[in-house]
Structure 1
Amino acid sequence: MTAPRCGAWLGAKRRYCRATETVRPYRTGLRCPAHTPAAEHGRPEPPPGPGWPVPPLAAAELVDGCAVVSGGQRSPPGVR
């Protein structure tokens, strides 16, 4: 398996960054620290927080809680 690589396009150099150190996934794709969305806008990185992804159990509890608040109920498994 190959190491993940930064997929930022370097227009002036007409090539992709392809860095492999500390690459993380973002909505725009894999990015190295120099090409994160915050870095490209000249802002500091936000502090780490709870963020996504939501654990599956927490998502199910949220749906159940919304159903209870609205007076509805969840359908049994297999019913659409």
Structure 2
Amino acid sequence: MDENEAQQVANALRELGIRGIVSPEDLDNPNGRWRVYDSADPNTRRDITDEALTVVEGRSRQSGPARGFVVPKSR
């Protein structure tokens, strides 16, 4: 994921009422795994990825199947 894709995911989460920060799990490895956190501060942030996925999954059941975070690329 890159910064643009992370911003798209964050925007989609905001539309669902989730105020999360999308950031690499390891800040020194942006090519690694990305997670959703409750704040930008790496020293105090709490991982809320599972909570965010639960909300997304609940919405997906209402509108059809989904897998993880699927955000279309901008053209």
Pick the structure with greater CA Rg. Answer: 1
| Common fold: TM-score over 0.5 | no
Greater RCO, CA 8 A, separation 6+ = 2
TM-score by length of 1: 0.27
Give the alignment's TM-score, normalised by structure 2: 0.28
